[in-house]
Structure 1
Amino acid sequence: MFSLIASLADGALRRSSNLAHRLRQTTLALSILTLAPMASAHEFWLVPHDAQTGVKQRVVFELRVGPTWPGVKTPRVDNLVNWFTASDAQGEWKVAGRDRMLAVGNFTTRSPGATVVGMRTNSAHLELSAVEFNKYLKEEGLIQVLKTRERFGLADAPGRENFSRCAKSIILVDGQSQGYDKQIGLPLELSLKTDPLALRTDQPFSIQLTFLGEPLANTLIKAQLKADPPIELSATSDAQGRVDFKLPQGGLWLFNAVHMEPSSEDDSDWESLWASLTVQLTTQSNE
């Protein structure tokens, strides 16, 4: 892969190096089974037991992995978490939790409005065959990465990737939503631009994706509703990193996005970040 790295622009390399520095806190020895069927999906999300609750109520989180709802419930693997925090009108604090538990974290609500929770994982390494890697790039909308592999004659080469997760969940307290659009410093972050308590099925519901705090354009964002069967939608972010979905109903929605750049590390060709956001949306009358 040195030929690929050497052929890319210096600016892209510097950006990739900065990303790699942020990502690489600890390399995890996680099994493919624990993470998900990587060739088909990287989705990884937080599921709160009480996405809408009251003040001084305990909220417990599970982790899910898989291509869509309901996903596979997975424990908090040793050394998985880099940081896990909650933020409300009073400030930010650490979410309590222990490794090897299915209840991966918990906290007690403090203030009316939105409590925004974020989990950043440590970096893990993955290698896939060319067929699997190319399939995964197509499914996640990473067309530029696919084109780069083709341009440098690497379409038949295995994919070597370092990746980490940026999982986010919004808890709405006392029937209020102020603070729902708060950003909490995840390197790849999905944020609401529409009030989650005011979903209208006849109007757009807006989501914004940012990378290192800046809007990220031309990126596939997926929306999935916990239903039977699950509802799945997708759209590509505009110049402001935004997408508008026509969501057909309320419920616990999952939003996902991925960003990948060339790696400057010897053991990998690519660095990727995976963002997820869960939030309970409440439908308002369309009248």
Structure 2
Amino acid sequence: MKQYSLIELETYQAVVEAGSFNLAADRLSTSAATVSRRISTLESALGVRLLNRTTRNINLTEAGEQYLDDVKNILESVEISEERIGEGKAEAKGELRIAAPLSFGIKHLSPVLPSFMKSHPNIIINLKLEDSQTDLQAEGIDIALRVTQNIKDSSLIATPLCSIPIVICASPDYINKHGKPKSINDIQKYNFLGYSLASNNLKTRLGSNSDPRIGFVANNGDVIREAAINGFGITALPLFLIEDDLKNGKLVTIIDNQVKPETLYAVRLSRRFTPTKVKVMVDYLRDTFKD
């Protein structure tokens, strides 16, 4: 039998999880050509086709499906063995892929990472900032930061880091023109600026049975913030995003203490073990952002 190594197995798992050679290449920090060559090496060594390739899709063959479970077990066993051997001896190291909301990542996460990197020089941080909910497995993310009221996905381990107050606010100009609502139930009379990724739990976020009239929707908190500052309507945003605007008077709080706070979570895939690099980062984030 021809020889293959762990790198071919890791590449195979990455291709299946990412769904394409290009995405797997990005995840592995290599080229699509190299990924293709590794898969061909593995298939040649095994004497079977693992993947059906088209110009648009990659699908597992029956043999590929059966082999995938074995590959996952092999790689996980190797990781566990390495972790046990190095526990208490070797320093945490390797690439650590983190995903976080764009605004939070720029304003609050990025400033605290240099201190962590000084303490852990052998960890290479790969930070992905975007407001869509990242698929941890498909994109090879080790830790994702999410602001929500709860994490319902049983395939994930969620570590609460801190409470995030949600503030209902608007610009002074908008309030002068349209008046100030007396309660959350009055918001339906006003133009509401909605965060599209929170649209499914908007009523939960507002903590009432109100049915706000959505006049503007965006998938980025800073865009909604700017719309509110410019007098487009009322919105409900995390305090960390608008704290400076409240202090300098660009925005004003409309209704105090009537919105349920949300939680900042550090989320990771549920596995038999947690790599040291993930453990130390979660601990650092918990200490850094604790209430």
TM-score (norm 2): 0.23
Point out the structure with the larger helix share.
2
TM-score (norm 1): 0.23
* CA radius of gyration, larger in: 2
Point out the structure with the larger strand share.
1
